[in-house]
Amino acid sequence: MGGTINIGKIAGIQISLHWSWIFIFALMTWSFASSDGILESYTDWSTERRIAAAVIIAGIFFASILAHELSHSLVAKAKGIPVTGITLFVFGGVSNLGRDAQSASEEFQVAIVGPLTSIVIGGLFAVVWLALRPSAPNEANVAAYLAFINTVIGLFNLLPGYPLDGGRVLRAIVWARSHSVLRATRIAARTGEAVAYLMMAGGALQFLFLDNAIGGVWMFMIGLFLRNASSGSYEQLIVQQTIGSLTATDLAKSDFARVDPEMTIARLVNDFMLMGRGRAYPVMAGDELLGLVTLTDVQHLERPAWETTSVYRAMTPREKLRTVSAQEPVLNVLQMMADGDINQVPVVDGRLLIGLISRTDIVRFINDRRALLIES
């Protein structure tokens, strides 16, 4: 998650704040300090004192969110799962785990501990509320709010909406029964999308008919976030399942059409591109890769120049190309293509060209394997 600030470590786990967290922290502080907030009974306090108290309460609330995520991370570490950090952002927090759970039991234990932690924290604040009611009713009200909100967070996360904790619990249960992580993820993701649409509908109803514009918009946004996360998580698993173990040579094409550096652009267009032999061609000197000439390179030239311009002059030189070795994981190649907005990458051994791997070929392979996986 980009745009983060590191604020320290707990138990060796890096804690970071996403820039969006500042927005929600400020919103909650304002809500607490407003005239109808949880500090409304403190009528004799100055504005500055109310804001300071609201900041402290918001800090306690986010400490509870952090405790929720820490519980996930600590259990994950105990199970041998690497934890790269925890990030607090606008919708709460996320534990950045180095790998997915390798068993249904591992998934269940890592997932369930977060909601249970929030519910336990809610119970502790409820005890504080009971203790303070006789002597300090105003402070008891604050404790009651923190008890309520932590319990709500715990119960909300138990909703069977993947990738919420409850969705991961559902996935673990289906995984244990079906022995198929793909089927379990598909069921959990579809359930998560259904929960998300219900939340979006509930938010719209609040906004339109219940005179709760802020709450309605907030619920709709959470539902939208959950829907995107649910479908995205399933698609990510599909990609991992289909190409996770493949290297660049597994999908690289070695029967590519190569062109000589002296060939003119006109001949390249007429004899290669218009004949449907591809959009990208390696420019070769023997087995050595000099560069890559593509349809985009041709489009940068005026048509009158096609007859006199060689592909060597029009090509992108090897030194400016993104290349990969034969053993590069296909997942890394696909990420490189997405980051650089490129459609094909040469697979090389030094200056020797082994093959070409294209984004179209990777996507076609994923879709073909995806159909087979879903059918099975």
Q: Does residue 225 register a pLDDT over 90?
A: no
CA distance 254 to 258: 10
Residue closest to 203 by CA, chosen among 189, 190, 214? 214
Non-local (6+) Cβ contacts of 96 within 8 A are 1, 83, 84, 85, 86, 87
User: Is residue 136 helix, strand or coil?
Assistant: coil
Asked whether the predicted pLDDT for residue 110 surpasses 90, the reply is yes
In a domain, 225, yes or no: no
Burial code of 71-95, b = ≥16 C-beta within 10 A, e = fewer?
bbbbbbbebebebebbbbbbbbbbb
Res 1 pLDDT > 60: no
88 is a domain residue: yes
The model's confidence at residue 340, banded by pLDDT at 50, 70 and 90, is: confident
C-alpha radius of gyration, the chain, whole number = 28
Q: Are 269 and 123 found together in one domain?
A: no
Residues 8 and 150 in one domain: yes
Q: How far apart are CA 258 and CA 272, in angstroms?
A: 10
Is the pLDDT reported for residue 312 higher than 80? Answer: yes
Q: What is the per-residue pLDDT across 111-125, written as a single tens digit (0 to 9) for each?
A: 999 999 999 999 999
N residues, the chain: 376
Confidence check: pLDDT of 234 > 80: no
Domain boundary (158, 179, 212) is at: 158
Query: 133 and 258 in one domain?
Result: no
For residue 216, tell me if it sits in a domain: no
Tell me, yes or no, whether 224 lies in a domain: no
pLDDT band per the 50, 70, 90 thresholds, residue 64: very high
Instruction: Name the percent of the chain lying above pLDDT 90.
Output: 32
- Asked if residue 28 has pLDDT above 60, the reply is yes
Whether residue 253 sits in one domain with residue 129? no
In a domain, 95, yes or no: yes
Residue 220 lies in a domain: no
Coil, strand or helix: which one is 159? coil
Band the pLDDT of 376: cuts 50, 70, 90: very low
- Residue 11: pLDDT band by 50, 70, 90 thresholds? confident
The domain tally of the chain equals 2
Residues 6+ apart with CB under 8 A from 31: 37, 54
| 276-296 residues labelled b (16+ CB within 10 A) or e (exposed) | eebbbbbbbeeeebbbbbbee
Answer for the pair 346, 328: CB distance below 8 angstroms, yes or no: no
| Same domain, residue pair 266 and 142 | no
Dist CA 173 CA 107 (whole Å): 9
Helix axes of 19-33 and 47-78: crossing angle, nearest 10 degrees:
130
Q: What pLDDT was estimated at residue 286?
A: 83
374: confidence class by pLDDT, cuts 50, 70, 90: low
Judge if 145 and 266 occupy the same domain: no
Shared domain for 153 and 257, answered yes or no, is no
Q: How confident is the model at residue 26 (pLDDT cuts 50, 70, 90)?
A: confident
DSSP 1-13: --SEEEEEEETTE
Backbone angles phi, psi at 106, to 5 degrees: -60, -45
Q: Which of 158, 179, 197 is the last residue before a domain boundary?
A: 158
In a domain, 339, yes or no: yes
**For residue 293, what are the β-bridge partners?**
281
pLDDT band at 36 (very low <50, low <70, confident <90, very high): low
On whether both 138 and 8 belong to a single domain, the answer is yes
136, 158, 180 — which closes off a domain? 158
Instruction: Round to whole Å and give the CA distance between 372 and 376.
Output: 6
**Residue pair 321/291 in contact by the 8 Å Cβ criterion:** yes
- Which DSSP letter does residue 180 get? -
**Residue tagged 């000439």 (tokens):** 293
Q: What is the arithmetic mean of pLDDT over 328-352?
A: 87
Whether residue 41 is predicted with pLDDT greater than 80 in this model: the reply is no
| Confidence category of residue 375, pLDDT binned at 50, 70, 90 | very low
- Give the residue carrying structure tokens 């990510």: 236
Evaluate whether residue 310 is within a structural domain: yes
Beta bridge partners of 280: 294
Average pLDDT, the chain: 87
Structural domain range at position 258: 248-375
Pair 153, 255 in one domain? no
For residue 354, give the 3-state DSSP assignment: strand
Q: CA–CA separation, 326 vs 346, rounded Å? A: 10
CATH code for position 361: 3.10.580.10
pTM above 0.75, yes or no: no
